[in-house]
Structure 1
Amino acid sequence: MTTIGGMLAAVTSAATLLLSPAAAWAEPAVWTVRDEDSTIVLFGSVHLLPDGLDWRPAALDAALDAADDLWFETPTEGGEGRMATRALGMLPVGESLHEKLSAEGRARLERVSDAVSLSPAALDALRPWLADVTLSVAMLIRDGARAEAGVEAVLASAAPGAGRRYFETPWEQVAFLAEAPEADQLASLEETLRQLDEDPELFARLVRAWLAGDQAAIDALGVAPLRTLSPGLYERLLAGRNRRWTERIVERLAGSGTTVIVVGAGHLTGPDGVPALLRARGVAVEGP
């Protein structure tokens, strides 16, 4: 996906997913790193999913059963993300999102807002990044996806004996979006509006690629376009964060025990994905 909202969700699921037999047989990818006294398993998350989707690979469940610690991108409980969004997501008084969009962007905003039953006037006070996220998520929810069915929510109660660790705070994660240059935010929002208006099945294709463990398709559909749309956003939302996470993973590998790491699927694919970065450091990584 080429949007800020989509990158935050890191290959977010499509609520328009059509569950074919092929999808039911498929299995999302799992990566494993081992040394003499530690095992680290990486799994790519989809943050919103339809109910009833069987996506859990046996290798993931086995790792969770043995896990000493379970890592996520950021905590989702406690309401800090909502507070950060309110604090960082509103335009200054007197500014209007509508006035910042192109003429075509304004027309698409009207159509997309109507499709997801949101008022354009209610969006007008939002900074472009938050309008981007709001519209993307609203479209998924309209078509049946739920955060409660997403990977993080399902795995939140997994491995109850494992310690919980996080790569980022909610405020840090929201700031990656909010502190992006406004021109980049607007470019992303304009592209999101185009996608939602003209290609609403893109998300469904991304989810099918995730279910099949098709990393090339995930990268081509959901990551590579961002590299072209905005190298700056790509660095801010994906590549830079991946490098920092890789450092933490290498530090954890120096310890002992079993670790399961669950992050957005877009962070694990492509030349700047975490598995590729680990391999570039000479770490043996089992998986695609």
Structure 2
Amino acid sequence: MTKPFLRRAMPLFAALLLAVPAAAQDSGDGLYAFTQDYEPAPALWRLSDEDTTLYLLGTFHALPRGFEWRSAQLDAIIEEADVLVVESSDFGAEPDAIDVDAKLTARLQRRLPTSSRLSAPGAARWRQLVAMSGHDFVSIDSMPLLLGLLTMGMTGGGPDTSSPLYGVETVLEREFLSRDRPILTIEDSGGVMYSLLRLDNSELVGELEAKLSDWDGKSLGHFFNTDYVEETGDAYWVEEHNWARGVVADDFDMGFGDGPIGQAFDFNLLARRNADWAAWLEARLAVPGTALVAVGSGHFEGEESLLAMIERRGLVAERID
């Protein structure tokens, strides 16, 4: 499903996990136990000039309790940095410019339910899919399509012991608040959310119809990925383990395919944001001091990664771990 994306690339939606009852998150008993027989060393980069140093850290926004990810090098950077920069934070100095709640409410009031835009067989399969997610049908059916799919992919279909409560940003925010150091946000999170809310056209619904027709009906996971296999134990946490070891993949798959739906997610949640962040980082080099910039690890992977966008600006982020 989209769990890897949630944990690695979108803290705006990671809060949805907090809406899942703790009992549901922990109901896997020992199925999701993990072991770490290695010293954590997550990937770190440095972008700097004569009087500014920006340390870049890829993060997981949600992690299981007790998962170790801090290295001595990262701890030293936390001590050195004057400011923490994250994607989204309740402690950020600047409020979001866009009131997403108001815009979502307005859209819901005038939006036709997704089921009414599907064929009769498609609507029936849509209802079946939503039921498997455990979410209320009317709620998902009334959401803009991309938001509905993201919500189901992240929080439906089974237990998950990861939580934003143990995510990297939560821990880092606590460290910087305890030192009375500022926390900044690299973007307007409301604007990012709105980029998804406003995309709700017939092309997206048409792809949903096709995907529902092709779906075998076995599970929510098979809808998002025909090769989906239910994993447990350390196999379930393989991406977390790779990240904690400092492995950076060549590509990042959000799990929505390469059709209109996948393209919409890729552009709005990855490529466009990475380009904007690279511009932000270049501008930040004009501000003397040291900053720790912590954003989802998925943004450091693929041809449209943040690192690629930085390079296109004639800058180099040097890996230092």
Please give the range of the TM-score, normalised by the shorter of the 2 chains: 0.7 to 0.9
Deviation readout 1:84-119 (Å, 9 max, x if unpaired): 2564276445722234457468536525633x5323
Q: Superposed, which structure 2 residues align to 1:44-193 within 5 Å?
A: 44-76=58-90, 84-85=100-101, 87-88=103-104, 91-92=108-109, 95-100=112-117, 103=121, 107=125, 110-111=128-129, 113-114=131-132, 116-139=133-156, 142-159=159-176, 160-183=179-202, 186=205, 187=207
1:64 shift after superposition? 1.4
1:74 shift after superposition? 2.1
Change (3 A) 1:136 1:85: farther
Is contact 1:206–1:221 with CA below 8 Å preserved after alignment? Answer: no
State the partner residue of 2:22: none
Change (3 A) 1:227 1:123: closer
Mapped to 2, the partners of 1:146 and 1:76 lie a distance apart of 17
Is the deviation greater in 245-254 or in 221-230?
A: 221-230
RMSD of equivalent CA atoms:
4.0
Mapped to 2, the partners of 1:287 and 1:48 lie a distance apart of 24
Mapped to 2, the partners of 1:224 and 1:213 lie a distance apart of 25
Mapped to 1, the partners of 2:197 and 2:108 lie a distance apart of 11
Is contact 1:10–1:46 with CA below 8 Å preserved after alignment? Answer: no
State the partner residue of 1:256: 288
Mapped to 2, the partners of 1:286 and 1:121 lie a distance apart of 49
- Which residue identity is paired with 1:213? G
Aligned residues with identical type, % of pairs: 24
- Which residue identity is paired with 2:284? R
Change (3 A) 1:266 1:120: same
State the partner residue of 2:216: none
Mapped to 2, the partners of 1:2 and 1:124 lie a distance apart of 19
Q: What's the TM-score once normalised by structure 2's chain length? A: 0.71
Instruction: Flag structure 1 segments of 5+ consecutive residues without an equivalent.
Output: none
State the partner residue of 2:249: 216
- The alignment partner of 1:31 has SS state of strand
Deviation readout 1:227-253 (Å, 9 max, x if unpaired): 996444422221111111111111112
Structure number, greater radius of gyration: 2
Q: What's the TM-score once normalised by structure 1's chain length? A: 0.78
1:152 shift after superposition? 1.7
- Which residue identity is paired with 1:174? M
Is contact 2:52–2:285 with CA below 8 Å preserved after alignment? Answer: yes
Is contact 2:40–2:70 with CA below 8 Å preserved after alignment? Answer: no
Instruction: Flag structure 2 segments of 5+ consecutive residues without an equivalent.
Output: 18-24, 26-30, 213-219
Mapped to 2, the partners of 1:141 and 1:95 lie a distance apart of 29
1:212 shift after superposition? 3.1
1:53 shift after superposition? 0.6
- Out of 278, 301, 310, the residue aligned to residue 269 of structure 1 is 301
- The alignment partner of 1:21 has SS state of coil
- The alignment partner of 1:135 has SS state of helix
Is contact 1:31–1:286 with CA below 8 Å preserved after alignment? Answer: yes
1:271 shift after superposition? 2.2
